[in-house]
Amino acid sequence: MPVGIYFATTTGKTEDVAERLHELLETSNPPKDLADLSSLDEFEGLDGIICGIPTWNTGADCERSGTAWDEMLETIGSMKLAGKKVAIFGLGDSSTYTENFCDAMEELHSYFVKAGAKMVGYVRKDSYTFDDSKSLLGESFCGLPLDEDSESDLTDSRLQSWAQELKHEMPELN
């Protein structure tokens, strides 16, 4: 069974990154915009799910993304996704929103954990400059943070390293 890439976006940056990841990973289907899906039933037919989520609702405890992901969180939490591997990438701005960098990743992560998914693709925080993030689990982010606003020159190399890591953690990609 294949690996699917899903994203939601407000100004298009998360979609652009999803397309770049699709090219790097050579996934069989193009990325899908969550806003175009009426249900998430197709998740059950996948071995691996890669999700792109931006953060817009600064400082919020819930509905941190401000995109179509927010309406899908409860549905994801009630799904049975045991055995499926899930990786998350987040779009944010580590300069302007340095206290809340990519906060939405952790909220989505928590609902996939509730559904029993095996979470992969954690990234160490060392190479990022920011003050705080709800998406930190110890020394690592619970996914790949990307900053197309302040550090867009780093996105290609961050994506390439992550794609290599995912190929190890999601053998279905090979």
Ligand X SMILES: Cc1cc2nc3c(=O)[nH]c(=O)nc-3n(C[C@H](O)[C@H](O)[C@H](O)COP(=O)(O)O)c2cc1C
**Are the C-beta atoms of residues 89 and 143 closer than 8 Å to each other?**
yes
Q: What is the nearest approach in angstroms of ligand X to the Cβ of residue 70?
A: 13
Q: Which is nearer to ligand X, 8 or 76 (CB)?
A: 8
Q: What is the nearest approach in angstroms of ligand X to the Cβ of residue 56?
A: 5
Task: Give the DSSP letter string of 21-42.
Answer: HHHHHT-SS--EEGGG-S--GG
Report d(CA 32, CA 4) in Å as an integer.
8
Residue nearest to ligand X (CB): 92
Q: What is the nearest approach in angstroms of ligand X to the Cβ of residue 174?
A: 28
Report d(CA 58, CA 47) in Å as an integer.
32
Q: What is the DSSP letter of 46?
A: -
Q: Which is nearer to ligand X, 95 or 161 (CB)?
A: 95
Q: What is the nearest approach in angstroms of ligand X to the Cβ of residue 168?
A: 27
Q: Which is nearer to ligand X, 84 or 107 (CB)?
A: 107
Contacts with ligand X by CB under 6 A lie at 9-14, 54-56, 58, 91-93, 97, 100-103, 148-149
Q: Which is nearer to ligand X, 57 or 110 (CB)?
A: 57
What's the half-sphere exposure (Cβ side, CA atoms, 13 Å) at 149?
Answer: 15
